[in-house]
Amino acid sequence: MTGPDEPVVLTAEGLAARITLNRPRALNALTAPMVERIDQALAHWEHDPTVETVVITGAGERGLCAGGDIRSIYEDARAGGSASAAFWRDEYRLNARIARYPKPYVAVMDGIVMGGGVGVSAHGSVRIVTERSRIAMPETGIGFVPDVGGTYLLGLAPGELGTHLALTGTPVGAADALLCGLADHFVPSDRLPRLLADLTTTVVWDALERHVRQPPPGELEGHRAWIDSCYRSGTVEEIMARLRAHPDPEAARAAETLATKSPTALKVTLAALRRARRLGPLEHVLEQEYRTSCAALSSHDLTEGIRAQVIDKDRAPQWSPGTLAEVSDVDVDRFFAPPESSGPESGPGPGPGFGLGLAPLASAQEVPW
């Protein structure tokens, strides 16, 4: 196990092993050593007969995890380095391990859960939200594209809800996370300590039965009509036009939100979502996301978006290209092209295993529990 001051605290009690993300001042943002430590722990516990359930939580009162350390990504991108690509390779492999984990993996998605935080939670087999949960994939606001399997998850959401969330980066609460398939159970936050205690002595399903409740009402169900109508369009330009023309004021607000995002990121995100629905298993989508992420690393908008939102905090990014009309199909296709050369870990060429070397996800019938 690990000490209380480590960025990832690992403990075991009774039937449960627990991962605590422990960088509360940084809202538990993930770093490369944290990803490696979590992966090592999961590999060990998978074969430990004393561990029946794995639980992941975040330290502090603000949330599980706000994502990756984007300041590090900013510095790496500016320097033309490769550290971010190496981090994403390990992170996406961890996401795939979580999705295929042979034991119950309980993610407590309390508070803020964004970006990489979604990756270490929403692929789990038991995903718990509370009245404090705020879940989002806000990447288009920093010139990036949803990753960590986000395009896979949002592509599976009912209708076009996932398209709306991916393009706007809108955070959702408990009921909407359940509606979109990002979570499984609602547990009031004041019951979490008792649930975690019960998991050390009781199998997960019996523990859940004692604490799961009905969530407060959400918002997205009431917006399905205009969301599905506007976002089913094949281009971002047409989506924007439909949103602006729709009589519901919430549609107009969504259009205003989209107008602040990176035009390139919006077009690549829409293409990634549409492609993800046809790719099949999560692993194949992660391969695609690895390509789009690495391509973004050399783009203007990623560093500019991080600068505006996190470094200088002026909230005034200067996107390039600056309009949707200026983003060509060639610009979008560049994000999905295989890397020009393949390193020793990326495989011999394009295809389902190119970049990450992941095997397809096991079917539900193959999971023993």
DSSP string, 146-171: --TTHHHHHHTSSTTHHHHHHHH---
Report the predicted TM-score, pTM, of the whole model to 2 decimal places: 0.92
With cut-offs at 50, 70 and 90, classify the pLDDT of residue 5. confident
Which residues on neighbouring strands pair with residue 10, listed in sequence order? 19
Active-site position among 91, 147, 289, 301:
147
- Average pLDDT of every residue of the chain: 92
pLDDT per position as a tens digit, 153-208: 999 999 999 999 999 999 999 999 999 999 999 999 999 999 999 999 999 999 99
- The residue count of the chain comes to 369
- Give the active site residue among 63, 116, 150, 173: 116
Catalytic option among 67, 68, 141, 143: 68
Outline where 180-337 has alpha helix (H): 192-199, 204-211, 224-231, 236-245, 249-258, 263-279, 282-297, 300-306, 329-333
| Catalytic residue list contains 357 | no
User: Is it the case that residue 70 has pLDDT exceeding 80?
Assistant: yes
Chain centroid to Cα 331, Å, comes to 24
Point out the catalytic residue in the list 110, 139, 198, 301: 139
pLDDT in tens, 242-290: 999 999 999 999 999 999 999 999 999 999 999 999 999 999 999 999 9
Active site residue 3: no
Catalytic residue at 147? yes
The answer for residues whose C-beta is within 8 angstroms of residue 327's C-beta and 6 or more apart is: 263, 264, 267, 321
